[in-house]
Structure 1
Amino acid sequence: MTANWLHHLIVAPIVLPLLAGAFVLLFDERRRVLKATISLASAVLLLGVAVTLMSVADAAAPAADVYLLGNWPAPFGIVLVLDRLSALMLVLTSILAIASLVFATARWQRAGPHFHTIFQILLMGLNGAFLTGDLFNLFVFFEVTLAASYGLVLHGSGPLRVKAGLHYIAVNLAASSLFLIGVSLLYGVTGTLNMADLAQRIPMIAPEDRMLLEAGAAILGVAFLVKAGMWPLSFWLPPAYSAAAAPVAAIFAILSKVGIYILLRLSLLFFGNGAGASSGFGNEWLLMGGMATMTFGLIGVLASQAMGRLAGYSVLVSSGTLLAAIGMGNAGITGGALFYMVSSTLTISAFFLLIELVERGQDTAANVLAVTMEAYGDEYEDAVDEEVGLAIPGTLAILGACFAICGILLTGLPPFSGFVAKFLLIASIFNPAGLGDPAPISATSWILVALIVLSGLAAMIAMTRTGIRTFWASLEGKVPRVLVIELVPVVGLLLLCLVLTIQAGPAMRYMQATAQSLHAPQDYIRSVLAAPRVRPEGEASR
């Protein structure tokens, strides 16, 4: 039985950033150091809470820890549900939050008003979306997250940022409308919005209502696919992410995973093996859409000349891989996909931060000339004075090393976690039934594995080309001015990828256990619907 204070800790990831965001509003914008200290302290405390909740969820598994807000039992009241998957997402969010806030203290927190308040509200929305147990509050936290992201994507102004930000806002407002329509259809058919109760009622839906149920689920799925960036709904993502301020883009690396999380959670909960006639609904669309997204993303990676666009299309490759893995509907593949999600999210977040540091010392005209030289050969080389024997400055060497590690992680080369993640994915795809029972490999599996390999090859070509142009054959020869506080979060995120590689065994056991629980949601449903109320003193005696 979970200790009482640990049980109440479930609500802390929502309340803590809400209080921190409100508290920093009390201080004038000129007191940036104090605001940053409060915000960063909140994020560090949030990480401690998330790690504690992860240990609680692991100890309680396969059951979920359920918190009844207002002490109303499910499905009538609002519930927060903690399991291995939600705990994992809380830890990942808090890690990215700390890295982004540390980076922002150097200069980005001064680029616009109320940065820390909006950032904390974003964390509250993200954590609420990961913990909620009903669709209505999922919509509430989804909207809180989007509202905060609107302010952050426009942070720092500039015409390019405003243009991309307005497109981002318009697309996500449309997704919110689809969310409402889908939820309304599901409620009209089932009479409930509690996720566990929905999962219990879906197999009993009358045949004449099943088409309406699946239509509502499909519309709801489109809303999350927009957020996840599935092709062709992903046109907004690379411009918005590449135009956002560096710490904003770094935390936005988790935003696309919100859509992945919800699709993974709901598809297995609503349309798993026990869903009757609707079992497996949408899996084929997720598989085909994921592979199409991977194809679009790898083409975008190859075509990108700017590092920001390269990172944006890398997000699409990551999302496409995860969507295709969910569509396969296999617990082993889901476990590998969770490992890949953690590794790719940490890598892309570090890459977004690194891009701002690298591009700080670059000139746009020089970049255009570099592309021209690459395209048309050596006829422009005489315009550049050759300098021989220059020592590489320490700052540039550190940035170059971090860039190389990011390239290795995105490509999936050994020995880092990107290789481990892709190896686990490919091994699970080729042998979904386990090592003791090999099964025939389908044509779809071959195509998916080919896309995983080709996406890594595309990333290797693009990162090598960009690295040579930036660090080896740069036309400016200018070393960017970088503060230690800006390098620390980049190095920290990459070190976490190294730790993930070293601890791949325990990490993968956790991911596989999480996947097994997701594919057998009976314990989740039972935990939520049977969660006991807290009885006031004297109630039992009456």
Structure 2
Amino acid sequence: MQHLMLVPVLLPLLVAALMMLLGEERHRLKMALNVGSCAALLAVSCLLLLRASHDGAPQAVGVYLPGNWQAPFGIVLALDRLCALMLVLTSLVALAAALFACARWHRVGVHFHVLFQLQLMGLAGAFLTADLFNLFVFFEVTLAASYGLLLHGSGRARVLSGMHYIAINLAASALLLIGVSMLYGITGTLNMADLAQHIPTLRASDRGLLHAAAGILATAFLIKAAVWPLNFWLVPAYSAATAPVAALFALMTKLGVYSILRLWSLLFGDEAGASAQFGSLWLIGAGMLTMAFGAIGMMGSQRLGHLAGYAALLSSGTVLAVAGFGQNLLTAAMLYYLPASTLAISALFLLGDVMDRWRSPVDGADPYEPTSEAAPFLNARLEPTRGFNLDEEEQALVGRPIPAATAFVGLAFLLCTLMLSGLPPLPGFVGKFAMLNALFNPLGLAASAGAQPGLTGWVFVLVLIASGFLALTALVRAGIAHFWTAQGRGPLRVGLAEGVPIGALLLSCVLLTVAAGPALRYAQATADALHAPSGYVQSILGAEPVPSVAAGSTLDETAEATP
């Protein structure tokens, strides 16, 4: 089971290398390899999740030493509950996006499946690595693949947005490298667990430089997490990308959020000495401003792609604001909310592609056009004396069923609306209710780590409720525009490759509601481990290399010769 930790990194890399050897005319084979790899990755991620959730104590960590060098000198991969959660979320969204791309999008450009797999490799590696420099490397792998995916399909809008996206991410990468270099110069290590041990013992004269390095590093991650005012690039880029790429990009902001959550709780938790809770108020303030910006942006948007982009900002801001409180009860509620909101945003990106295509003029027969057999009953004008219910245009209402595709899309949009606005009974409501319950439970928060919410907590409650109301208003308005007021459209056609991914993502949200008890317990155990990182540190620094056969035999011979 320990070797399974390598699969999320090696499998996409090997599949991408194999597909590079195939010509572009073998697109069906590439499509099968891409989908099959995503399905295998989902299965492996679920196994890793089961291992992490049943591996003894809540803070137990699986450690793998790829180079067989003991930390902090060698590369380390670490699997805990948070890593396993992010891997399952990544593989699920990736499988849905890969299936949706099979309908038509994978053929509008070259090397789509190769870039798709390379991005999965970068995401998985960033979640599993326990070293800052390798985190930077996997970030760059992810970004390099995302540049090609964003430009997939060409077009002026994609090129312009792609240039902005590339420029801002190159700047963020430069800041990330500068911050990593400064931390190495101060502490002499880049292993996350080793950093956690060095920071409390730093000299007072070096602490200002440490905070400056952390601020530069945090700025890079906040750009990737799309925090206001550093998020001007996200909505144009994500809305210009093809639907499956935009759905996969919903994970990119969560990668920035994951990095901040992991490093801030590990390096600046209660065990960090004089640096404890450094930057917490900045995280809370930036998160709430991002929430407000996302909600107002949704109110000012009409296109579904823009709505989904601003919803991603709203979700990212909510997660960051909660993380800044440093409270394990609040963090547990946020960890339940994070995957559910990501799944709903990805589904909305995919759904927006179907609905925009439907709203555009489509050639074809009117689905309600009466046939010769139905003409006596569905004629354009029926005499009132015949006893049928008529609408305001004297059209017969009898025998007009809602087409299956329209009903499916309408129900899917309704679920997305409930999820993103935080209305019951979906996980958006459960997660937000858990956040409010934690804030209004002073006894529980008093016994937990972190600063007490106070006035800041009440401001967060106000922003949380107001942003949910604005999101609901914006999505309801969009639903009215797409389902009720649009005229002159042809029949809606949703292929199996389009309907199954959307349904699977939303079904996952429903399952999170049904299994809310176990999911919240898992989230609570994950939050407890994050805010008590000693188990993570000891597991990584205490991992022993596997002795070679020669070394083992020499040790045995020496032991036998020694009296």
Matched, 1:492 2:504: yes
The answer (yes or no) to whether the contact 2:196–2:267 under 8 Å persists in 1 is yes
Match of 1:82 in 2: 79
Amino acid at match of 2:228: W
User: Partners in 2 of 1:163 and 1:536 — Cα distance?
Assistant: 54
User: Partners in 1 of 2:167 and 2:452 — Cα distance?
Assistant: 45
1:405 to 389, 410, 415: 415
Q: Structure 2 vs 1, CA of residues 524 and 233 (structure 1 numbering), >3 Å: closer, same or farther?
A: same
> In the TM superposition, what whole-angstrom CA distance separates every residue of 1:81-117 from its partner, at most 9, and x where no partner exists?
0000001100000000100000001101101001010
1:338 to 335, 339, 348: 335
2:174 to 161, 173, 177: 177
2:61 to 37, 61, 64: 64
Match of 1:13 in 2: 8
SS at match of 1:69: coil
Match of 1:381 in 2: none
User: Partners in 2 of 1:352 and 1:312 — Cα distance?
Assistant: 8
1:429 to 400, 422, 439: 439
Q: Structure 2 vs 1, CA of residues 174 and 535 (structure 1 numbering), >3 Å: closer, same or farther?
A: same
Matched, 1:505 2:521: no
Match of 1:259 in 2: 256
1:396 to 381, 384, 406: 406
Match of 1:189 in 2: 186
1:466 to 470, 474, 478: 478
SS at match of 2:315: helix
Q: Taking structure 1 as the reference length, what is the TM-score of the superposition?
A: 0.93
- The Cα shift of 1:216 comes to 0.5
Amino acid at match of 1:434: G
- The Cα shift of 1:386 comes to 6.4
User: Partners in 2 of 1:267 and 1:441 — Cα distance?
Assistant: 18
Amino acid at match of 2:30: K
For 1:130-529, what aligned pairs fall within 5 Å after superposition?
130-363=127-360, 388=395, 389=397, 391-431=401-441, 433-434=443-444, 442-529=454-541
Figure out how many residues of one structure are paired with residues of the other and give that number. Answer: 518
Match of 1:43 in 2: 38
SS at match of 1:172: helix
Amino acid at match of 1:315: A
Is the deviation greater in 347-356 or in 469-478?
A: 469-478
The answer (yes or no) to whether the contact 1:160–1:243 under 8 Å persists in 2 is yes
Match of 1:368 in 2: none
Amino acid at match of 1:540: L
SS at match of 1:513: helix
- The Cα shift of 1:437 comes to 7.5
> In the TM superposition, what whole-angstrom CA distance separates every residue of 1:287-306 from its partner, at most 9, and x where no partner exists?
00001111111110111111
Amino acid at match of 1:138: L
Amino acid at match of 2:9: I
User: Partners in 1 of 2:126 and 2:235 — Cα distance?
Assistant: 24
SS at match of 1:66: strand
User: Partners in 2 of 1:387 and 1:529 — Cα distance?
Assistant: 78
The answer (yes or no) to whether the contact 2:179–2:213 under 8 Å persists in 1 is yes
User: Partners in 1 of 2:452 and 2:171 — Cα distance?
Assistant: 42
- Could you tell me which runs of 5 or more consecutive residues in structure 2 were left unpaired when the two chains were aligned: 362-391, 559-563
The answer (yes or no) to whether the contact 1:203–1:275 under 8 Å persists in 2 is yes
> In the TM superposition, what whole-angstrom CA distance separates every residue of 1:487-508 from its partner, at most 9, and x where no partner exists?
1000111011000000000000
SS at match of 2:76: strand
Q: Structure 2 vs 1, CA of residues 463 and 245 (structure 1 numbering), >3 Å: closer, same or farther?
A: same
Q: Structure 2 vs 1, CA of residues 113 and 441 (structure 1 numbering), >3 Å: closer, same or farther?
A: closer
The answer (yes or no) to whether the contact 2:63–2:78 under 8 Å persists in 1 is yes
Q: Structure 2 vs 1, CA of residues 525 and 479 (structure 1 numbering), >3 Å: closer, same or farther?
A: same
Q: Taking structure 2 as the reference length, what is the TM-score of the superposition?
A: 0.90
The answer (yes or no) to whether the contact 1:339–1:507 under 8 Å persists in 2 is yes
Amino acid at match of 1:119: F
The answer (yes or no) to whether the contact 2:304–2:348 under 8 Å persists in 1 is no
User: Partners in 1 of 2:269 and 2:452 — Cα distance?
Assistant: 23
Q: Structure 2 vs 1, CA of residues 333 and 154 (structure 1 numbering), >3 Å: closer, same or farther?
A: same
Q: Structure 2 vs 1, CA of residues 184 and 440 (structure 1 numbering), >3 Å: closer, same or farther?
A: closer
> In the TM superposition, what whole-angstrom CA distance separates every residue of 1:336-359 from its partner, at most 9, and x where no partner exists?
001110110010001100000000
User: Partners in 1 of 2:276 and 2:499 — Cα distance?
Assistant: 48
SS at match of 2:136: helix
Match of 1:24 in 2: 19
What's the RMSD between the two structures over aligned residues?
Answer: 1.8
SS at match of 1:272: coil
1:55 to 46, 50, 67: 50
Match of 1:374 in 2: none
User: Partners in 1 of 2:457 and 2:393 — Cα distance?
Assistant: 50
- The Cα shift of 1:436 comes to 9.7
Q: Structure 2 vs 1, CA of residues 17 and 283 (structure 1 numbering), >3 Å: closer, same or farther?
A: same
User: Partners in 2 of 1:53 and 1:401 — Cα distance?
Assistant: 33
Bigger radius of gyration: 2
Identity over aligned pairs, percent: 54
The answer (yes or no) to whether the contact 1:179–1:220 under 8 Å persists in 2 is yes
- The Cα shift of 1:539 comes to 4.4
The answer (yes or no) to whether the contact 1:333–1:432 under 8 Å persists in 2 is no
SS at match of 1:291: helix
